[in-house]
Amino acid sequence: MTEELKKKYVAHQLEGKAGVWWSHHRATLPTNVVVTWHQFKAAFRDTYIPQGLMTIKHIEFMNLTQGTKSLTEYLHAFNNLSRYATEFVDTDAKKLASFKRGLGPKLSMNMAGNKSTTFNEFVSDALTQENSNAIYAASKSRKRAYEAGASQSKAPVTSKTAYRPPNVATRYQPL
């Protein structure tokens, strides 16, 4: 899509307050001025995404790690925040390096030798590795549970004697 078509398409999609804003913004410009895609984005962001929020989101992106999130959850957070730190994702190599930086230690170690050259290849391989790790962990926990159950000693079975109540007559002798 060309830069001109992007601007026209997005401007056509604006509704409500954003549509009113664009009409007013356009009215403040000379009639024959062509607004570029970059000018449109800058004007829109200045109006709807304050610089303070951009800075906060940029810092969030820089501090983003997988932590306890699944790889898919980490990927969604990465993609969501990457738009606030475009200088770190403007090439496939930078995007891949930024993504690897936030991976959890186990997955990072498992993926250290990965030779993927594109971001999408790496993510696909990492998802496969995460799934393999989960299957392995599940089989280990089942094995441990089985071994623990089999190795627990059981109380020896002894013959039970029948209960005989004491002789009531001999027990309660009058004084």
- Give which of 44, 81, 38, 42 is closest to 59, Cα–Cα: 81
- 67 & 118 share domain: yes
Task: Give tens-digit pLDDT for 104-113.
Answer: 999 999 999 9
- 82 & 114 share domain: yes
Q: What is the pTM of this model?
A: 0.65
Give domain status of residue 143, yes or no. Answer: no
Task: Give tens-digit pLDDT for 77-91.
Answer: 999 999 999 999 999
User: How many domains would you assign to the chain?
Assistant: 2
- 39 & 75 share domain: no
- Give which of 74, 84, 11, 15 is closest to 44, Cα–Cα: 11
Give domain status of residue 103, yes or no. Answer: yes
Is a pLDDT exceeding 60 seen at residue 152? no
Range of the domain at 72: 50-134
- 11 & 68 share domain: no
- 55 & 128 share domain: yes
- 37 & 71 share domain: no
SS3 105: helix
Give domain status of residue 155, yes or no. Answer: no
Give ∠ CA 82-58-38 in degrees, rounded to 5. 65
Most confident of 46-50, 102-106, 153-157: 102-106
What band does 14 get if pLDDT is binned at 50, 70 and 90?
Answer: confident
Instruction: Please give the Cα distance from 122 to 119 (Å, whole number).
Output: 5
Give ∠ CA 5-11-17 in degrees, rounded to 5. 170
